[in-house]
Amino acid sequence: MTRTEPPPVPCPQPRVGAARRSSVDVTIEQLPRSLPLRSPSRRPAVRQVLCLLPLVLVAVVAVRQRSVLAEGFGHLASAKWPWLLAAAAATCLTWVAAAVTRQGALLQRLPRRRLLATQFAAGAANHLLPTGLGASAVNLRFMTVCGVPPARSSSALALYLLAESVARVGLLAALLIAFPDALRPGGLLPDGAVGPLLLAAGGVVCAAVTVLLLVRRVRTVVSGFLRTALGEARSVHTRPARALALWGGSFSFPLCQAAGLAAVGRSLGLPVPPLHMAVAYLAATVAVALVPAPGGIGSVEAALIVALVAAGGPAAPATAVVLTYRVITVWLPLLPGALTLGALVRLKMI
């Protein structure tokens, strides 16, 4: 009788997955129990606050200027609408001119639609913050998001401001030479005000020069910025398309603004020639360029009324023209501009 042996029992093989799990479990168990938990980021909340901030500022400015706002809207009923539409079209062209100038001040190509939307939003920011600071902050942030280094974006901003100032003063000088009787300078400034103004300007210049000479850190920063700015300006002017955009936009911007005021003057029957109104606008805006008021609200109205009276317009119609012009150029675009600013912040475009 043959003896049958039982089949061999297979030896249990170690499971690789289990070994890996055990090693992972041991590794996890060996981790310290007091690891800090990652707190949720607060950036979304901050961004939501920044989205709502422009609307709050619009409400505050509107409440503070409610009497001027109501009077300006009241004059719209008696105005000629074709001329008002022309003034609105000139206002829209100012944002296009600003976008063209911004691109001309920078070699790097910027997205066109976002650039135009940023200029519309920057206009609202400029009316809510001290003059120039709102638009400058929005444009600096926009260029940073587009990948422009801080030195180049600051240089582009300085070049833009310089070109716009040169164009505005140059246009004023050219029009005053062509129309020397457009303004009566005696009505622009009170008696005895020229001396204190010149003295204050000289004091500011002397203080700036003193700081540059005595503070080495400031001198180093300023010299480095000037080297970068001059290099960027040379590079821009080696590109004919960029130079044309820079200077063409710089001259178009104040011309569109002056054309808007002239159109409003025609709509309300102000007895001042359109070119004389353009001279008055340029003279008023140059005079209030250094006044630290939000968007020039208050100071621009006063300067424009004085300039139009100096150009030969009666005081009451000149006031009506200025208030209507500021409604079209400031108050009507202010809420849409603030909404655009909030949307750009929410979409992380600025």
Residue range 118-129, pLDDT digits in tens: 999 998 888 776
Q: How far apart are CA 148 and CA 129, in angstroms?
A: 24
Select the highest-mean-pLDDT range: 38-52, 73-87, 241-255, 328-342.
241-255
pLDDT band at 81 (very low <50, low <70, confident <90, very high): confident
What's the pLDDT score for residue 198? 62
Number of H helices, E strands in the chain: 14, 0
CB 72 within 8 A of CB 242: no
**Does position 53 have pLDDT exceeding 80, yes or no?**
no
Q: What is the pLDDT of residues 177-211, one digit of tens each?
A: 999 888 876 555 555 555 565 676 677 677 777 77
Q: How far apart are CA 57 and CA 54, in angstroms?
A: 5
Closest CA to 175 of 40, 282, 31: 282
Looking at per-residue pLDDT, the higher value among 322 and 202 belongs to: 322
Task: Report the Cα–Cα distance between both ends of the chain, in Å, rounded.
Answer: 96
- Determine the structural domain holding residue 246 and report its residue range: 54-191+211-346
Select the highest-mean-pLDDT range: 113-122, 215-224, 316-325.
113-122
Tell me, yes or no, whether 75 lies in a domain: yes
What's the pLDDT score for residue 253? 95
> How many domains is the chain partitioned into structurally?
1
What's the pLDDT score for residue 35? 46
Q: How far apart are CA 20 and CA 298, in angstroms?
A: 75
Tell me, yes or no, whether 170 lies in a domain: yes
Rounded to an integer, the average pLDDT of 147-166 is 89
CA angle at 292 for the pair 291 and 294, rounded to the nearest 5°:
115
Express as a percent the part of the chain with pLDDT over 90: 32
Tell me, yes or no, whether 4 lies in a domain: no
Q: Return the SS3 of 294.
A: strand
Rounded to an integer, the average pLDDT of 67-73 is 64
Which of 146-158 are b and which e, b meaning 16 or more Cβ less than 10 Å from the residue's Cβ?
bebeeebbbbbbb
The letter for the amino acid at 339 is L
Express as a percent the part of the chain with pLDDT over 70: 68
Tell me, yes or no, whether 14 lies in a domain: no
What's the pLDDT score for residue 257? 94
Tell me, yes or no, whether 34 lies in a domain: no
Count CA atoms closer than 13 A to 146's CA, side-chain side.
Answer: 22
Q: How far apart are CA 159 and CA 312, in angstroms?
A: 36
Tell me, yes or no, whether 8 lies in a domain: no
Tell me, yes or no, whether 276 lies in a domain: yes
- Round the average pLDDT of the chain to a whole number and report it: 78
pLDDT band at 91 (very low <50, low <70, confident <90, very high): very high
Closest CA to 336 of 98, 113, 58, 81: 58
CB 76 within 8 A of CB 321: no
Tell me, yes or no, whether 18 lies in a domain: no
pLDDT band at 238 (very low <50, low <70, confident <90, very high): very high
**Distances 297 to 97, 136, 329, 331, 335 between C-alpha atoms, Å:** 22, 18, 12, 10, 16
CA torsion 333→349→254→272, rounded to 10°?
0
pLDDT band at 286 (very low <50, low <70, confident <90, very high): confident
Closest CA to 105 of 113, 114, 115: 115
Q: How far apart are CA 204 and CA 285, in angstroms?
A: 20
